[in-house]
Structure 1
Amino acid sequence: MANHSDKRFPKAMFEPAQVDEKLAEKIEKPSLNFWQDAFLRVRKNKAAIISFIILMLLVIVTFVGPYINGYDSETQNAAHSNLPPRIDAVADVSWLPFDGTWENRSGEKLYPYEERGIEESYWFGTDKFGRDLFTRLWEGVQISLLIAVLATAIDMIIGVSYGAISGYFGGRVDNIMQRIIEILTGIPNLVIVILLILVLEPGILSITLALAITGWTTMARVVRGQVLKLKNQEFALASKTLGATDFRIIFKHLMPNMVGVIIINTMFTIPNAIFFEAFLSFIGLGLQPPDASLGTLIEDGFKVMLLYPSQLIIPSIVISILMITFNLMADGLRDAFDPKMRD
């Protein structure tokens, strides 16, 4: 039996390996800081990367679009009212709805461009006043994004400062500040909007204020929770021992450790603000004609969706893309900034 084992396992297989002591402390994986590590994990999230690319393309088209086809968003032409989308380059592609035709309820195909003798092409069609919907759509996206970004910036500034102060000082200060948040949270947004419209004219200012008055409370609660967790850790106590002021500890030492959470909440706030603005405009409490936003365009298209469905479908697709891309990016950033998700 022993001879058989020696043949299967020669003695050369059991010689000690040569160990180089210089390689004992070698680090195989490169040292990465927080942002480098987060970027590598975001890059692995294909949904977040694709959403970012789509969003960037959409933003570029939003600012370039109104100047592409040469039509003005407010110029009315009754002879060109309610025209279907037509793009000459793809008009012959049967499965694309850009051939400049309508279908009535009986399935009969109509040719409004030829019937009216119109040679121009409106890529997304026109509304009941003959205004170019392609230009109005991208100007409406500009306004919707402007309102969302302004409201989110105000939410971030107020919410972060309020939550950090409340969580850091704690005690009676925290108790009073949290009761104020509870009172504001209990007030419906629609009530605030209606009150603001009674005082201010419906428009960008009133909608932004309505979004900002109560929108910052979520950010404040999240930041407060993070400050309560961080303020008693060693680096914060060391700074306090060395004589750092409360303001410096909050904004110099605690705030950088909450950047990930703040960015994530901001990314989730933007699509919520876009949707709320569209909702207000849809029910008539937002922007008023002739101003355009995604909400007003969807509201106009809703009125004629049985006759001219493209007037509703196109802005609905755009707002859906905005909502989906922002949410997927927020999910990707949440996973990237979460230490528990590290490989």
Structure 2
Amino acid sequence: MANHSGKRFPKEMFEPAHYDESLGEKIEKPSLNFWQDAWLRVKKNKAAIISLVLLTMLIIMAFIGPYLSGYDGDVQRAEHNNLPPRIEAIQHIDWLPFNGTITNREGETLTPYEDRQVEESYWFGTDQFGRDLFTRLWEGVQISLLIAFLATAIDMIFGVSYGAISGYFGGRVDNIMQRIIEILMGIPNLVIVILLILILEPGILSITIALAITGWTTMARVVRGQVLKLKNEEFALASKTLGATNIRIIFKHLMPNMVGVIIINTMFTIPNAIFFEAFLSFIGLGLQPPDASLGTLIESGFKSLLLYPYQLIIPSIVISLLMITFNLIADGLRDAFDPKMRD
């Protein structure tokens, strides 16, 4: 045998390749179901994993945080009002925050704990009534998450059912149901909240109802689009041919194929609900003091921003972390559930 330069190679240099037929059936990559494959791709998204860990810590703190400081968030102590954050372990390090000092407008460093001879330490400081902000912050996170999850659950249950029925039956049923959605989407949420407050007292119930009245429409339209695409697939037509009822086809066969889309939209709905609750409480249409939520804490801190900025900065950081983590997790789930993103 010769190469392109004319040089000949002896036959002994060449050996036939041996093929092991048993290797033809060997599976190089383990068999994974849909959820296992999605989880593997979520783990590759570092932002989503970090957000998941951080969100888990925030939710845990929402439950155990009010009991860590040892103070009741509803107890007012006028002699301890507007104390800055102080953590005993670092209170003697001047250049670190949470050392119990505060700087006034003239640039002078004040030591309210020593001046008032206060021996207790408040990790996040106190408000104008002397209430512990650490306890009130985590109580506020509890309320905000409760409203968000409650409104999102209603959104998911009603929106998914409404959209699935509308898309599956189509025709006149679909036209009527979609016109109802368009009417509801044309009404601003703020108008609905104001009308509810005229009927109900401002609080968790009125905010949840306001979020539930119009919040489900986006989910319904997304689910409707998925049902329109899936209802003519072979598995749905086969079920219908075998005599399955419409309800069974919708919730037994079509719904499992839309779980990824439903989860993604739910994860995007939760931060919107948290922000909407905080916005309503900030403008005075949501929860009312002394009840604590992230919105009421931010509203109270905003009034004393120039003198005591920590009262606004700390709850603002927490609500920002909640919204960022939920959105990053939703982005990670969207990429994981998308077949086009598979490597």
TM-score range, shorter chain: over 0.9
Residue 36 of structure 1 corresponds to: 36
The answer to which of 94-103 and 228-237 deviates more is 94-103
Q: CA deviation at 1:31?
A: 1.3
Gaps of 5+ in 2: none
Measured in 1, the distance between the counterparts of 2:30 and 2:65 equals 44
Measured in 2, the distance between the counterparts of 1:81 and 1:268 equals 38
Gaps of 5+ in 1: none
Cα separation, partners in 2 of 1:10 and 1:312, compared to 1, 3 Å:
farther
Q: CA deviation at 1:94?
A: 3.5
Q: CA deviation at 1:231?
A: 0.2
**Residue identity opposite 1:218 in structure 2:** T
**1:292 counterpart SS class:** coil
**1:274 pairs with 2:274:** yes
**Residue identity opposite 2:289 in structure 1:** P
The answer to which of 15-24 and 320-329 deviates more is 15-24
Which deviations, in whole Å up to 9, do the C-alpha atoms of 1:240-291 show, x marking residues without a partner?
0000000000000000000000000000000000000000000000000110
Measured in 1, the distance between the counterparts of 2:183 and 2:11 equals 81
Residue 214 of structure 1 corresponds to: 214
Measured in 2, the distance between the counterparts of 1:89 and 1:195 equals 50
Residue 201 of structure 1 corresponds to: 201
Measured in 2, the distance between the counterparts of 1:30 and 1:91 equals 54
**Residue identity opposite 1:331 in structure 2:** D
**1:176 counterpart SS class:** helix
Which deviations, in whole Å up to 9, do the C-alpha atoms of 1:217-243 show, x marking residues without a partner?
000000000000000000000000000
Residue 139 of structure 1 corresponds to: 139
Measured in 2, the distance between the counterparts of 1:288 and 1:27 equals 62
Cα separation, partners in 2 of 1:14 and 1:132, compared to 1, 3 Å:
same
Which deviations, in whole Å up to 9, do the C-alpha atoms of 1:100-157 show, x marking residues without a partner?
1110111100011111111000100000000000000000000000000000000000
Q: TM-score, normalised by structure 1?
A: 0.97
**1:24 counterpart SS class:** helix
Q: CA deviation at 1:90?
A: 1.6
Residue 186 of structure 2 corresponds to: 186
Measured in 2, the distance between the counterparts of 1:205 and 1:10 equals 89
The answer to which of 13-22 and 175-184 deviates more is 13-22
Aligned length in residues? 342
**Residue identity opposite 2:295 in structure 1:** G
Q: CA deviation at 1:6?
A: 4.4
Which deviations, in whole Å up to 9, do the C-alpha atoms of 1:166-207 show, x marking residues without a partner?
000000000000000000000000000000000000000000
Which aligned pairs between 1:88-167 and structure 2 lie closer than 5 A?
88-167=88-167
**Residue identity opposite 2:127 in structure 1:** D
**Residue identity opposite 2:30 in structure 1:** P
Residue 327 of structure 1 corresponds to: 327
Q: TM-score, normalised by structure 2?
A: 0.97
Cα separation, partners in 2 of 1:25 and 1:214, compared to 1, 3 Å:
same
Cα RMSD, aligned residues only: 1.4
**Same amino acid, percent of matched pairs:** 83
Measured in 2, the distance between the counterparts of 1:156 and 1:301 equals 34
